[in-house]
Chains A and B, each alone.
Chain A
Amino acid sequence: MPAVDPSAVPSGPAVVVDGLVMTYDGVRAVDGLSLTVEAGTITAVLGPTGAGKTTTLETCEGYRAPQQGRVTVLGLDPQRDRQELLPRIGVMLQSGGAWSGVRAEEMLRHVASLHAHPLPVSLLVERLGLEDCGRTPYRRLSGGQQQRLALALAVVGRPELVFVDEPTAGMDPAARRTTWELLEELRADGVTVVLTTHYLEEAERLADHVHIIDRGRLIASGSPFELTRAGTTTSIRLVVTEPFPPSAPDALRAALGPDTEVTALNPQTLLITGPADATTLATVSDWCERTGVLPESLTLGKHTLEDVFLQLTGRELR
Chain B
Amino acid sequence: MSGTFAPRPGAAPLLQQVRAQTLMEARLMLRNGEQLLLAVVIPLLVLVGGVLAADRLDLDLADGTPLEVLTPGVLALAVMSTSFTSLAIATGFERRYGVLKRLGTAPLPRSGLLTGKIGALLLVQVLQVVVVVGTALVMGWRPTAGPVGVLGAVVAAAAGTAAFASLGLFIAGTLRAEATLAAANLIYLLLMTGGAVVLPAATYGGYGDLAAWLPSGALGEGLRAALLDGAFPWLAVLVLLGWTTVGTVLTARTFTWE
Contact = CB atoms under 8 A, between A and B. Distances in A.
Interface of A: 1-4, 6-10, 61-63, 83, 86-91, 93, 95-102, 106, 110-111, 113-117, 119, 123, 153, 155, 157-160, 185-186, 188-191
Contacts of A123: 4
Contact of B106 (A102, A111, A158, A191): A111
A99 B24 CA distance: 10
B1 A100 contact: no
A10 B7 CA distance: 10
A8 B8 CA distance: 12
Given A87-B9, A87-B11, A116-B10, A95 B4 contact: no
Contacts of A101: 28, 31-32
A96 B101 contact: yes
A96 B98 contact: yes
A302 to B, nearest CB: 32
Contacts of B1: 6-10, 189-190
Nearest to A91: B105
Interface of B: 1-13, 16-17, 20-21, 24, 28, 31-32, 93-94, 97-99, 101-102, 104-109
18 contacts: A1-B9, A4-B9, A9-B1, A87-B10, A96-B102, A97-B98, A98-B99, A100-B93, A102-B28, A111-B106, A114-B11, A114-B106, A114-B108, A115-B107, A116-B12, A185-B3, A188-B3, A191-B7
Q: Which applies to chain B's interface (DSSP): helix, strand, loop or mixed?
A: loop
B6 A97 contact: no
Given A100-B93, A185-B3, A190-B3, A158 B105 contact: no
A36 to B, nearest CB: 20
Nearest to A185: B5
Given A87-B107, A110-B24, A113-B20, A6 B2 contact: yes
A86 B107 contact: yes
Contact of A189 (B2, B97, B102, B105): B2
A98 B93 CA distance: 10
Contacts of B32: 101
Given A101-B28, A113-B16, A119 B5 contact: yes
